[in-house]
């Protein structure tokens, strides 16, 4: 019996030895080369730096667009203010008891002011139109479009006043409403990180920056 057990044990040892020889030594996990770890780390760093650079470029571009748009808007508003001031001065120059000749002279002067103002404001509107804005900057595109509606309202108003100077004495709801409607889009076009004092410039344009119809800027008299 003992001899039989010994034979079985030897056979079992031989079987295990054969399995070990066939399978080979136990597989050990391969260590990650130090160079590969550095390569992965550098790749992540490169992606992070690229994303940061793209973010900075996007921020700078949006600020530059806002600055150019506001500069064009300010030029348009300045032309409107000049027209308002010239109209006011023309009325102030009329005698308290004007003659028919005084009235005719005033009408002719106002017609000339309207024509010159229309040309100046239309030219300023071209400046707004030419402000380049990237297609995906929807807020800046909307602000540009909204202000151009105000500029066009002034062009139409002064075109009518050229033919009939009494337009200067009539309410101009399109001029005033388009001016008020452009306020929020202009603010929306200014990035949260405002590098060009865009919000302050808009407040100056709108005099008080309030939510009600503005009292300054390009409003008609």
- Domains of the chain: which residue ranges? 59-93+100-205
Block residue for tokens 């000749």: 101
- Which residues, in sequence order, are CB contacts of 206 under 8 Å at separation 6+? 183, 214, 216, 217
- Which residues, in sequence order, are CB contacts of 183 under 8 Å at separation 6+? 202, 206, 209, 214
CATH of domain 59-93+100-205: 1.20.120
Decide: 90 and 165 in contact? Cβ < 8 Å: no
Decide: 70 and 186 in contact? Cβ < 8 Å: yes
Residue 162 has pLDDT above 80, yes or no: yes
Residue 221: what pLDDT?
44
Share of the chain above pLDDT 70, in %: 68
Residue 42 has pLDDT above 60, yes or no: no
Residue 135: what pLDDT?
95
- Long-range (24+ apart) CB contacts under 8 A made by 138-142 are 139/185, 139/188, 139/189, 140/62, 140/65, 140/66, 140/69, 140/189, 142/185, 142/188, 142/189
CA distance 103 to 95: 10
CA distance 70 to 41: 44
CA distance 98 to 90: 13
Reading the block at residue 90, the tokens are 């023309």
Neighbours of 99 (CB within 10 A): 9
Q: Model confidence at 59, in pLDDT bands (50, 70, 90)? A: confident
Reading the block at residue 1, the tokens are 């019996």
Residue 148 has pLDDT above 50, yes or no: yes
Look over the chain and give the mean of its residue pLDDT values, rounded to a whole number. Answer: 83
Average pLDDT of span 173-201: 97
- CB burial of 152-182 (b: ≥16 within 10 Å; e: otherwise) equals bbbbebbebbbeebebbeeebebbbebbbeb
pTM strictly above 0.85: no
């Amino acid at each position: 019996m003992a001899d039989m057990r010994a034979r079985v044990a030897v056979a079992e040892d031989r079987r295990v030895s054969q399995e070990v020889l066939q399978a080979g030594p136990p597989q050990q996990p391969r260590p990650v080369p130090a160079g590969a770890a550095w390569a992965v780390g550098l790749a992540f760093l490169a992606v992070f730096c690229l994303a940061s650079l793209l973010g900075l470029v996007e921020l700078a571009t949006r600020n530059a667009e806002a600055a150019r748009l506001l500069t064009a808007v300010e030029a348009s508003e300045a032309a409107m203010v000049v027209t308002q001031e010239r109209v006011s001065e023309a009325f102030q120059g009329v005698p308290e008891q004007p003659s028919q000749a005084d009235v005719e002279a005033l009408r002719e002067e106002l017609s000339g002011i309207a024509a010159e103002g229309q040309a100046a404001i239309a030219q300023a509107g071209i400046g707004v139109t030419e402000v380049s804005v990237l297609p995906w900057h929807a807020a800046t595109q909307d602000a540009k479009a909204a202000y151009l509606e105000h500029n066009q309202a002034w062009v139409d108003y002064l075109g009518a006043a050229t033919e009939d100077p009494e337009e200067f004495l009539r309410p101009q709801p399109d001029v005033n409403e388009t001016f008020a409607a452009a306020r929020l889009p202009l603010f929306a076009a200014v990035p949260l990180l405002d590098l060009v004092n865009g919000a302050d410039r808009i407040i100056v344009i709108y005099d008080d920056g309030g939510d009600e119809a503005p009292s300054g800027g390009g409003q008609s008299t």
